[in-house]
Amino acid sequence: MTLRELHLAPAPDVPEHAGGSSAAPHSTSARDATMRTGAAANPPLVSVVIPCFNHGHFLGEAIDSVRGQTHGCVETIVVDDGSTDETAAVAARYPDVRYVRQENQGLAAARNTGLRHAAGEYLVFLDADDRLLPDALAAGLACLDVHPSAAFTWGHFRYVHGDGSPSNEKPPARVADADEYCALLRKNHIAMHATVMYRRAPLEGVGGFDPRLRACEDYDVYLRIASDAPICRHDRVVAEYRKHDVNMSHDTDLMLDTVLAVLAKQAEHASASRARRRAHRAGIRFYRDFYAEQFVGQLRRDPRRLLNGRAALRGTMLMLRYGPKWMGRRLLAGLRWLAPRMQRRLTAPRVGHVDFGDLRRTVPISDVFGYDRGRPVDRYYIERFLGEHAADIHGRVLEIGDNAYTRRFGGDRVVTSDVLHVDPQSPHATFVGDLTTADQVPSDAFDCVVLTQTLHLIYDVRAALATLHRILKPGGVLLATFPGISHIDAGEWGGTWCWSFTLHSATRLFGEVFPPYATTLQTHGNVLAATAFLQGLAVEDLRAPELDRHDPHYQVIITARAVKPSITAADAQQ
């Protein structure tokens, strides 16, 4: 295996603007906070390993959650498991992060790579789409300090939606059993790996994670350690589990096959006592029933799963083989219920027989972008983009029109908040003018410019982009969003609405001002999201998976993150 490492040496002191955290690891403020909480003068080093495969759009939040820990002695290691997205670019924004790249080998192998490169006495494995809460590491260390013989400890977590907003879904209940190994045999009630803090020696002692497992490699490690060593738990909520439509746990076929293989590996250890044998059998029954139920539920929600070839056949066979007797009856009833619905949903309607329903109308449901129904569809993508890049919003920030997004996503990282507005009567404006001729706005002045839904209102887009480049500090970041598929505003902006963009046109325009290596452009949306947005439907009218599905042929919103280089080409030649 060939590894390529970048940023190998953690910076001893990271300024806030480097990563957007006011409590960056290795910083004086973090060390002071640790000392104030009574930690030792030489606190133990905790290594946080973040495996990432094509989750670069979430990675910044995961890294920021590590940098915001109250325990200040932390190293962060990002293991890029052969990603083809912006994972490397996101990791490069953090000078104190160790970045390791390998060819795609799976989650278990990525965690083992992180373990080999980690220097800490304690280890936490954080998936790139999840987040730690600020006291996560401190809580784990405190529990292990009270239980010096424990090989690992774990705490509670809470669910969040794909966009990071809180979810009302409750995590699974813990299994009550005096023997923690028996409790784990019955059910993996730890449920989220990021809540676990390992001591290094026991983890290395069992050989790390089994790379032969495509899933459940964390459950396998819990059982292999707990079969011979004590473990302990605490009651602190320490992590946030992000639920979205690409979570591995949705793959019923894979999960059931793998969890049964993990339990089979424990047969010898589980035979040591009657209690363990009973717990082992109970665990097998639990997972057979659980995934059989989940498979039926998935079919009822989405009949198209039956068209997914091998996975649908395996899921059906596993359910019939392992599920209780009543499950077969439920399957037959479910298929009878699904049959007519599949016919309607999966067969293209004949010409002239399309059922438009509420959409058979020549005027939109809402002509104000859906504001009268809830949150407009385009704002879902805009605000998710800003949330993913919130760390860039710091220092001196300029926003167009008002500073609502600066305050919402920048928070206390923002030192000075400026607003540019074309109307001199605007109460928010600190600068008045047009971006194409904004000579009154100083050059090299801003750490970040937030430019949402503005470029399409400017005829001379090239001049506006040149101004934005001029006013950014070297190293400053432009966060811009602009429409692709959209209706034209019926109100005050309709008279100045000049353009809609595509990824191709936006790439060419930004490439004339910002170097390609410093610019990331993305599209957001799909045919359903585009249809809903044109009709004026709101986010509340759709489901998160429907909004999150990406189809590059239906570009509702285009987002751009562009960095002004610290050194120009001319400077480099000199």
Q: 74-129: per-residue pLDDT in tens? A: 999 999 999 988 899 999 999 999 999 999 999 999 999 999 999 999 999 999 99
pLDDT band at 568 (very low <50, low <70, confident <90, very high): low
Residues near 305 by Cβ (< 8 Å), separated by ≥ 6?
298, 299, 311, 312, 315
pLDDT band at 396 (very low <50, low <70, confident <90, very high): very high
- As a whole number, mean pLDDT of residues 273-284 equals 92
Least confident of 200-204, 388-392, 491-495: 491-495
Provide the mean pLDDT of the chain.
84
- As a whole number, mean pLDDT of residues 448-452 equals 98
Which residue carries 């986010």 as its tokens?
A: 539
- As a whole number, mean pLDDT of residues 184-205 equals 94
Which DSSP helix (H) or strand (E) runs through 102? strand 97-102
Most confident region among 33-37, 67-71, 331-335 by mean pLDDT: 67-71
Residue 164 has pLDDT above 90, yes or no: no
Residue 280 has pLDDT above 90, yes or no: yes
- As a whole number, mean pLDDT of residues 551-571 equals 84
Q: What pLDDT was estimated at residue 300?
A: 60
Long-range contacts at 492-501 (CB < 8 A, ≥ 24 apart)? 493/457, 496/457, 497/456, 497/457, 498/456, 498/457, 498/458, 498/459, 499/455, 499/456, 499/461, 500/456, 501/455, 501/456, 501/555, 501/558
- Whether residue 106 contacts residue 218, with contact meaning beta carbons closer than 8 Å, is answered with no
Residue 325 has pLDDT above 90, yes or no: no
Higher pLDDT among residues 19 and 74, named by residue: 74
- As a whole number, mean pLDDT of residues 321-330 equals 52
pLDDT band at 9 (very low <50, low <70, confident <90, very high): very low
- Count of alpha carbons within 13 angstroms of residue 225, beta-carbon side: 28
Residue 316 has pLDDT above 90, yes or no: no
Beta bridge partners of 519: 562
475 secondary structure, DSSP code: E
Least confident of 24-38, 100-114, 256-270: 24-38
Least confident of 28-32, 209-213, 388-392, 486-490: 28-32
Q: Residue 238: which of 33, 388, 68, 119 has the closest Cα?
A: 68
Judged by DSSP in three states, 58 sits in helix
Q: Residue 554: which of 517, 503, 509 has the closest Cα?
A: 503
Distances (CA, A) of 8 to 5, 60, 100: 6, 18, 9
Q: What pLDDT was estimated at residue 399?
A: 97
Instruction: Please calculate the CA angle 130-132-134 and round it to the nearest 5 degrees.
Output: 155
- Whether residue 162 contacts residue 228, with contact meaning beta carbons closer than 8 Å, is answered with no
- As a whole number, mean pLDDT of residues 239-252 equals 70
Q: Which domains does the chain have, with CATH numbers?
A: 4-246 (3.90.550.10), 270-338 (no CATH), 377-573 (3.40.50.150)
- As a whole number, mean pLDDT of residues 458-474 equals 97
Higher pLDDT among residues 99 and 335, named by residue: 99
Which tokens in the block code for residue 15? 């300024």
- Whether residue 458 contacts residue 482, with contact meaning beta carbons closer than 8 Å, is answered with no
Least confident of 204-208, 228-232, 303-307, 348-352: 303-307
Residue 30 has pLDDT above 50, yes or no: no
Which residue carries 């002045």 as its tokens?
A: 445
Distances (CA, A) of 247 to 206, 311, 422, 431, 497: 27, 16, 45, 45, 39
pLDDT band at 170 (very low <50, low <70, confident <90, very high): confident
Helices (H) and strands (E) in the chain, counts: 21, 16
Residue 419 has pLDDT above 90, yes or no: yes
- Whether residue 441 contacts residue 447, with contact meaning beta carbons closer than 8 Å, is answered with no
Q: What pLDDT was estimated at residue 313?
A: 52
Q: Residue 57: which of 248, 249, 244, 251 has the closest Cα?
A: 244
